[in-house]
A and B are shown apart, each in its own frame.
Chain A
Amino acid sequence: MIEIKDLHKSYRMGSNSLHVLKGINFKVEEGELVAIMGSSGSGKSTLLNILGMLDGADSGDYILDNVPIKNLSETKAAQYRNKFLGFIFQSFNLINYKSAAENVALPLYYQKVPRKERQEKALQYLERVGLKPWADHLPSELSGGQKQRVAIARAMAAEPKVLLADEPTGALDSKTSYEVMDLIQKINDEGNTILIVTHEEDIAHMCKRIVHLKDGVIVEDKKIEQVRAEQYV
Chain B
Amino acid sequence: MDRQPVPAMAVTADMILQRRRGKRYTQAGVYLILCVLVLWSVQVTIIEDTDWARMGSLAEVWESTNRFIGIDFALFKDLIGPTIETFMIACLGTLLGVLLCIPAAWFGALNITPFKPVTYPLARLMMTISRSIHEIVWALFFVAAVGLGALPGIFAIAVRSVGFIAKMSAEAIEDIDPGPVEAIRSVGGNNLQVLIYAILPQILPQVLGVIIFEWEINIRRSAVLGLVGAGGLGLVFFRQMNTFNYHGVMSVIIAILALIVLGEAFSHRVRRAII
A and B pair up = no
Chain A residues within CB distance 8 Å of chain B: none
